[in-house]
Amino acid sequence: MGVTSITKAEMTFAPYCRNGWRGWILDDWRQLPELADLDAWLLDPRQTVVLAAPCRTISRRETALGAVYVKLMRGGNDGAVRNREVISWLKWTLLPSRGEHILKVTAAMAAHGHCCPTPVLGARCRGRWGYPRELFVSREVVQPTLEECLVRAAGPGEQQHLLAFAAESLARFHRDHFVHGDFLPRNVCVDSQGGHLYFLDNDRTHHWPFPPPFLRQRRNLAQFCYNLMLLDGSGQSSLPADFLQAYAEARPDWSLRRRRAEIALVQAQCDRRWAMHGVRELAWREKRRRQMASQSGDPVGKVGEPPALG
């Protein structure tokens, strides 16, 4: 990369090059014994597997410097790995390292004052025919997800307060030219005491050097609001309107006419998707919730979504 270190905010990264793995590591973690041999560490049974899918495995591990989440990526999506799609194979092989991208974008987020899991390591290892495995390691965020907070809220007033907080944080995120890759209620954590919102799952998050086309940021609004409808179990939920109104008010660069137009556009997108997929996706979520309840032994009504991941 032509430089010996990357500094963002108070974080300094150094090159990592061991046993075929190449990338960047947080300076304070360079001497951690577990990271000296990544292949052996990844095979260590002392871990809690959070997600096991064809394209990626996510696990939680304890280290001498604290708990971390480890995301090992084998492809862009499950279908590409399962079906051995040629185009997807070429894209995954030729595009820049996904692990390094996540590390750099989360470091940029921190430099702009946006909270996210502390990036520890982003690296790539090429195997046969140059096909890569990607790795991203981040520190654990010990805070409840926004989805959990909304479910446990004492009433509509507390839900509105949480949504306004999330909307203001997202608006500032967008004003700094960021676009989140998968902005969902379960992909952000709430630090109510510190007044921070943590953005998780930043695989496809991007930081633009100039204001991005707003249709990309609008997608964050639409996917978030649609998932609020699923969370509330109704296509007539008032939660999306509360969120959109708070977001529009947090955009002083918008005129009143622009605010009304964007709210109407996003709401229309959510309504169309609900009409096409809402009942089916709601049934799928309920089935998944019951499966998780039966596995954990918890009452069905108290089981939420899987833990959010850094």
pLDDT digits (tens, 9 = 90+) for 116-144: 999 999 999 999 888 999 999 999 999 99
Q: How confident is the model at residue 296 (pLDDT cuts 50, 70, 90)?
A: low
Give, for 147, the enclosing helix (H) or strand (E): helix 146-152
Using DSSP, state whether 35 is helix, strand or coil: helix
DSSP label at residue 195: T
Residues 134 and 151 in one domain: no
pLDDT at residue 2 is higher than 50: no
The verdict on residue 215 lying in a domain is yes
Residues 85 and 20 in one domain: yes
The verdict on residue 307 lying in a domain is no
Using DSSP, state whether 72 is helix, strand or coil: strand
Residues 180 and 290 in one domain: yes
Residues 181 and 293 in one domain: yes
| Listed residues 139, 161, 185: the one ending a domain | 139
Residues 135 and 150 in one domain: no
The verdict on residue 87 lying in a domain is yes
CA atoms within 13 A on the CB side of 220: 27
Q: Please give the residue range of the domain that contains residue 13.
A: 6-139
Residues 125 and 108 in one domain: yes
| Listed residues 93, 114, 139: the one ending a domain | 139
Per-residue model confidence as pLDDT tens digits over 108-119? 999 999 999 999
Residues 109 and 217 in one domain: no
DSSP label at residue 134: E
Using DSSP, state whether 239 is helix, strand or coil: helix
First to last CA, the chain: 25
